[in-house]
Structure 1
């Protein structure tokens, strides 16, 4: 388990390289949901998502020989962007392996940052290629199965705990589980009474399936939310979720896209569906815990192209 001291150490290490993003009350979301809402705005982070934190924490932990050899990462989008940009800033050569289903914008940004981008037919093939490159001498910067990365993501929870007013329930999106593992470890240490809820989209249910099975299992991927589409969680992230997370809720892609539209309209935030899924889940949390809740939302990223949002809105008949 990742302890609070390790997360605090990661915070000190990455300070000056990443943004301490604001935590703000949202009157618009409070009016929409009927309870106070605080939002941790990781969409304002460098590279547009929380992923810059874990990537930077890992890069700064490397020895001189590892930095010289270079790094490789698998990504559905945000982790690859973060590693490419932060590696360039720290003068480390990076390779990013992405499935062909990854958003064209993400592939372009990773390449423009200077990374060597390799495309594969799917996420399983992407992880296999990254493993081979690791055997050839590159350091694999795993998106979630790495204590340094999880501690880096945990700095989100550290700041949220320090900056938010009273919270009863915090919602965090889940792909492979690195964000919720770190955030849960930090929040449970700083605010022990807070309930933590994970959110996945249908067709990207790696953590909920793992919790049902008693450990990580491979899952078929069909969600349009590629930034949450991990083929399985890791033992590291599973153990944190099993110990620290109240429940993992699963929402349809359509509702995740609708959530992004609602966040734009009511909170004035441009989010990707990986963050939009928090709103339909928040309504379900309120049905369970009642009107006395004070919600916290980790708004994990804003890397959605306008063309993609327009296409999804039309596909699902949303206005």
Structure 2
């Protein structure tokens, strides 16, 4: 289990490479949800998402031999962008494996950094290719199954705890569980009374299915939210979530896309569906906990192309 000492150490290590993103009250969301809302704007992070933190944490820990051989990562978008950009900044050769369903913009950004992009038919095939490249000598930078990566993502929770006012409930998106594992590890120490809620989308609900099964299980992926589409969580992230998180909510894709539009309208920020799903989840939390809720939302990323958002909105009949 990752603890606050590891997270504080990692915060010092990556401080010169990542942004301490703003933590601000949102009057617009507070009015929309009828409760005080504070947002952690990780969509303003370097590379457009929190993933830069974990990628940097891992890259800075490489040996000289590992740096020379290069690194490899699997990604539905944001992790690959983060690794490619940060590896280029740190002069490390990177290979990024993505399913063909990943956003075209993400693939373009990866290639623009000079990283080698490898495309596969799906996430299962992407992870299998990463394993083969590991056997060939590349160092894997796993998107969530790595203590260093989780400690890096945990710096989000460290900053949120330091910078936010009073909170009763914090909502964090879940793909493979690296972000919520790190955030929960920080908050359980620094804000022990706060309830922590994970949020997934239907068709990308690896953590909720793991919790129901008593451990990680493979899941069928069908969500449009590729950045949350892990084929399974890891034992490491499962252990953190099962011990530290109050509950995991599952949101339909349609509501996640509506959340993007609502965030643009009421919070004046451009988010991706992995962050948009937090708004409908926050409504459910507000209904469950009643009056007195003071909500914190980790807006994890903003790497959604306008054309994709408009296409999703049309698909789901949203204005």
Residue 139 of structure 1 is matched in structure 2 by 139
The aligned counterpart of 1:169 is 169
| Alpha-carbon distance, 1:291 to partner | 1.6
Q: Residues 142-221 of structure 1 correspond to what in structure 2 (within 5 A)?
A: 142-221=142-221
- 1:28 equivalent to 2:38? Answer no
Distance 1:213 1:113 in 2: 40
Q: Deviations over 1:288-314 (max 9, x none)?
A: 101200000000000000000010010
Match of 1:261 in 2: 261
Work out the CA distance in 2 between the residues paired with 1:293 and 1:112: 44
Q: Does residue 114 in structure 1 map to residue 110 in structure 2?
A: no
Q: Partners in 2 of 1:194 and 1:79 — Cα distance?
A: 28
Contact kept? 1:34, 1:291, Cα under 8 Å: no
Work out the CA distance in 2 between the residues paired with 1:3 and 1:34: 34
Partner of 2:251: 251
**CA displacement at 1:262 relative to structure 2:** 0.1
Trace 1:95-110 onto structure 2 (pairs within 5 A).
95-110=95-110
Query: For each residue in 1:267-299, what CA deviation from the matched residue of structure 2 results, as whole angstroms up to 9, or x when unmatched?
Result: 001000000000000000011101200000000
Equivalent in the alignment of 2:7: 7
Shift of 1:102: 0.2
Q: Verify the 8 A CA contact 1:258 1:276 in the aligned structure 2.
A: yes
Q: Deviations over 1:72-96 (max 9, x none)?
A: 0000000000000000000000000
The aligned residue for residue 76 of structure 1 is 76
Q: Is the partner of 1:107 in helix, strand or coil?
A: helix
What residue ranges of structure 2 are gaps of 5+ in the alignment?
none
Conservation of the 8 A alpha-carbon contact between 1:257 and 1:276 = yes
Query: In the aligned structure 1, how far is the partner of 2:66 from the partner of 2:14?
Result: 18
Distance in 2 of aligned mates of 1:189 and 1:110: 36
8 Å contact 1:173–1:200 — kept in the other structure? yes
Question: What is residue 66 of structure 1 aligned with on the other side?
Answer: 66
What count of residue pairs does the alignment treat as equivalent? Answer: 319
SS in 2 for 1:160: helix
Q: Deviations for 1:119-146, whole angstroms, at most 9, x for unmatched residues?
A: 0000000000000000110000000000
Detail structure 1 runs of 4+ shifted over 4 Å in the superposition: none
User: Which residue in the other structure is 2:287 paired with?
Assistant: 287
Conserved? CA contact 1:173–1:275, under 8 Å: yes
Question: Please, what is the CA RMSD of the aligned residues?
Answer: 0.3
User: Which residue in 1 is equivalent to 2:57?
Assistant: 57
1:242 is aligned to 2:218: no
Say if 1:95 and 1:117, in contact at 8 Å, map to a contact too. Answer: yes
- Deviation (angstroms), 1:163: 0.1
> Where do 1:217-232 residues align within 5 Å?
217-232=217-232
Shift of residue 97 of structure 1?
Answer: 0.1
Quick one: distance in 1 between partners of 2:237 and 2:52? 18
CA distance in 1, matches of 2:41, 2:113: 23
2-structure distance, mates of 1:247, 1:115: 38
